[in-house]
Structure 1
């Protein structure tokens, strides 16, 4: 049995946390019951989810608008890597086309 078929991925209803030093929004994903910190770049939130600047309030709003797409991309990436991921703008360009 491959790992993908047994891996449990759950997204708790928690707000993301802005990491200004790294220009990331970090969020928790439960992978097989264990918390794993994942992230999305500020650039991805600006390019694809309407954040007009790197201000925390705008990034949080963009994250909320894109939550379903972000979760879907994150789950796909986790299933490929088996662990924590950072989502970049290019991953959403493929979906947008």
Structure 2
């Protein structure tokens, strides 16, 4: 499975309070996003304002991409919406290794 993260700017979705980002799996674009709650809880976003969430996304980009890659590698179809619980699971899973 080929998973790529194109160099596109992430976008704030006002309706869902998420940051959407580009992912291409085997040449096919997949809708992916991370919730405001996850960005506040795990990446220290100061609020659910667009600027704070985008800044937190940039600081946590590598972890967000790694978890997205892990999720997609499990064979789960898109779209992907990463929530706070996904990051807690990843931390617990990493601690057991």
TM-score between both structures, scaled by the size of structure 2: 0.87
How many residue pairs get aligned? The number is 91
Q: Which residue of 2 aligns with 1:4?
A: none
Where in structure 2 are the equivalents of 1:7-86 lying within 5 Å?
A: 7-80=1-74, 81-86=76-81
Query: Separation in 2 of the partners of 1:50 and 1:15?
Result: 20
Query: Separation in 1 of the partners of 2:47 and 2:78?
Result: 29
Query: Separation in 2 of the partners of 1:28 and 1:14?
Result: 6
1:47, distance to aligned residue in structure 2 (A): 0.2
Query: Separation in 2 of the partners of 1:25 and 1:78?
Result: 18
User: Helix, strand or coil for the counterpart of 1:25?
Assistant: strand
1:8, distance to aligned residue in structure 2 (A): 0.6
Query: Separation in 1 of the partners of 2:69 and 2:90?
Result: 14
TM-score between both structures, scaled by the size of structure 1: 0.87
List runs of 5+ in structure 1 lacking aligned partners: 1-6
C-alpha RMSD of matched pairs (Å): 1.1
List runs of 5+ in structure 2 lacking aligned partners: 93-97
Q: Which residue of 2 aligns with 1:3?
A: none
